């Protein structure tokens, strides 16, 4: 009987041991279960060329995180749908990612029209959404789970340029401005800052006109600006109409003190299309590969090795940066509870390749835009001074014949 009792005890202990080991193994398996990050990007359609870089930037962030042991000790995986450059499909896929796939985290989409459409979906389901947003109006809807980290804000686009211009003695500043603006929400988002700053700097608005896209010919616009002696030209449009405006300015020998371009001058195609004629143009950006913040050198080295580019394309950086910010919220919250992630981001400063950011009640950091100028075929940062890679060239030199 004693022998049987001892055997029974041993069997019991073995069963307990096996059970404990199984529980530990199950717990370990649960800990290693991937964190799924879902959403959509326009992998086909008119925005695909840009979106591919956002995707590559996000995926590079994931590779680096997984090399270091993952997020919260778990590997990360992406579930990316193709919304075909359609904002309505972006909404559909956001709903599917949240309600059907039950993803752990939601990533930011592109372009601003898609981000603006997805923001209420994220808010409805209480998912933190870090993206470019859809200009200021999208951040004025009372959403609490949406963040621009960093955003692309038309209202801030010229902030860096105006701060630099404000640093000049008044007698050196332009006196008469021509504003030609594309007639769409992006163009409209530029206007409030233009009106505020031009008034503050005592620069008269001589021409303030809207045009519909596609712009058939920039010649009449440039003729009028030259006839009206405008010594600063704001070309508030996209790449194609910006290129057209520069060509018309050269053809008509219109050479104001400064030409400020809305969108398109910071991409390689600007110089490829215009050559030296594309030099000296000012613009803005909220992120660039020459920023002197930790991580930019690493990304530039990776892109140089992988894609033979001198620095990472700006949208590669956006994809990486939005994930950087979201991950800091997750780590700060110590888990995947969306409300805790939101609350951590609202109450702490995050650090990214775009610099430090602290979010306000709208989910926005303080205005973050840097002034760029094309010099010798390269995009240089000229403001703020602590990030400058070159001194601004001003007034604009004469056209080279």
Residue 401, in any domain of the structure: no
Check residue 401 and give its pLDDT: 72
Q: What are residue 279's phi and psi, to 5 degrees? A: -70, 160
- Judgement on whether residues 125 and 83 belong to the same structural domain of the protein: yes
* Segment 193-206, tens digit of pLDDT: 999 999 999 999 99
Can you give the residue range of the structural domain that contains 187? 156-285+370-387
Q: Does 16 reside within a domain?
A: no
Same domain (yes/no): 299, 374: no
Spacing of C-alpha 362 from chain mean position: 17
Residues 213 and 281 in one domain: yes
User: 97 and 241 share a domain?
Assistant: no
User: Same domain for 121 and 240?
Assistant: no
Same domain, 375 and 244: yes
Whether residues 246 and 164 share a domain: the answer is yes
pLDDT at position 269: 83
Q: Are residues 378 and 247 in the same domain?
A: yes
State whether the Cα torsion 342-343-347-349 is positive or negative.
Answer: negative
Residue 326 lies in a domain: yes
- Residue 12: per-residue pLDDT: 52
pLDDT of residue 28: 46
Which conformational region is residue 359 in: left (phi greater than 0), alpha (psi within -120 to 50 degrees), or beta?
beta
Residue 80's H or E segment, with its range, is strand 76-82
Those residues whose C-beta lies under 8 Å from the C-beta of residue 273, and which sit 6 or more positions away, are: 243
Residue 15 located in a structural domain: no
Q: Does residue 393 belong to any structural domain of this protein?
A: no
pLDDT at 47: 87
- Residue 9 corresponds to which tokens in the numbers above? 């005890």
Collapsed DSSP state (helix, strand, coil) of residue 365: coil
Q: What confidence tens digit (pLDDT) does each residue in 325-355 have?
A: 999 999 999 999 999 999 999 999 999 999 9
pTM of the model: 0.84
Q: Decide if 105 is inside a domain.
A: yes
Q: Which residues of the chain have pLDDT under 70?
A: 1-31
Burial of 64 from C-beta contacts in 10 A (0-12 / 13-18 / 19+): middle
**pLDDT for 222-252, tens place per residue?**
999 999 999 999 999 989 999 999 999 999 9
Q: Could you tell me the CATH number of the domain that includes residue 239?
A: 3.40.50.2300
377 with 251, same domain: the answer is: yes
Q: How far apart are CA 332 and CA 326, in angstroms?
A: 10
The answer on 148 and 39 residing in a single domain is: yes
> Do 214 and 339 belong to one domain?
no
Same domain, 213 and 238: yes
> Is there a domain that residue 323 lies in?
yes
Q: Which of 335, 324, 186 is nearest to 264 (CA)?
A: 186
| 347 phi, psi to nearest 5 deg | -115, 5
The tokens 């279960």 sit on which residue?
33
Number of structural domains in the chain:
2
> Is 394 domain-assigned?
no
CB-based contact 120:143 (threshold 8 Å)? yes
């Amino acid at each position: 009987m004693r022998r049987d009792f001892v055997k029974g005890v041993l069997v019991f202990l073995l069963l307990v041991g096996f059970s404990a080991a199984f529980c530990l193994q199950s717990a370990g398996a649960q800990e290693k279960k991937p964190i799924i990050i879902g959403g959509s990007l326009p992998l086909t359609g008119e925005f695909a060329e840009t979106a591919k870089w956002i995707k590559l930037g996000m995926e590079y962030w994931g590779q680096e995180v997984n090399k270091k042991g993952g997020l919260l000790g778990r590997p990360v995986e992406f579930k990316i749908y193709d919304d075909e450059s359609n904002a309505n499909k972006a909404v559909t896929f956001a709903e599917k990612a949240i309600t059907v796939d039950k993803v752990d985290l939601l990533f930011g989409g592109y372009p601003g029209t898609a981000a603006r459409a997805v923001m209420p979906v994220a808010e409805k389901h209480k998912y933190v959404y870090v993206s470019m947003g859809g200009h200021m109006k999208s951040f004025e809807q009372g959403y609490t789970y949406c963040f621009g980290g960093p955003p692309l804000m038309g209202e801030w686009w010229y902030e860096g340029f105006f701060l630099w211009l404000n640093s000049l003695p008044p007698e050196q500043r332009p006196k008469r401005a021509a504003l030609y603006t594309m007639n769409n929400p992006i163009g409209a988002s530029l206007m409030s800052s233009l009106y505020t700053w031009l008034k503050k700097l005592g620069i008269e608005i001589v021409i303030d006109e809207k045009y519909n896209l596609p712009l058939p010919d920039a010649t009449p616009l440039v003729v009028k600006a030259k006839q009206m002696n405008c010594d600063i030209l704001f070309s508030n449009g996209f790449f194609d109409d910006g290129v057209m405006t520069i060509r018309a300015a050269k053809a008509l020998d219109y050479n104001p003190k400064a030409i400020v371009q809305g969108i398109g001058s910071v991409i390689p195609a600007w110089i490829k299309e215009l050559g030296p004629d594309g030099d000296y143009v000012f613009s803005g950006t909220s992120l660039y590969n020459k920023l002197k913040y930790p991580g930019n050198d690493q990304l530039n080295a990776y892109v140089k090795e992988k894609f033979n580019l001198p620095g990472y394309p700006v949208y590669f950086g956006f994809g990486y940066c939005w994930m950087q910010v979201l991950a800091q919220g997750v780590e700060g919250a110590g888990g995947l509870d969306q409300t805790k992630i939101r609350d951590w981001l609202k109450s702490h400063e995050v650090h990214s390749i775009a610099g430090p950011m602290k979010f306000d009640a709208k989910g926005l950091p303080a205005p973050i835009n840097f002034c760029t100028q094309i010099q010798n075929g390269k995009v240089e940062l000229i403001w703020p001074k602590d990030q400058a890679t070159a001194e601004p060239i001003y007034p604009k030199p004469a056209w080279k014949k």
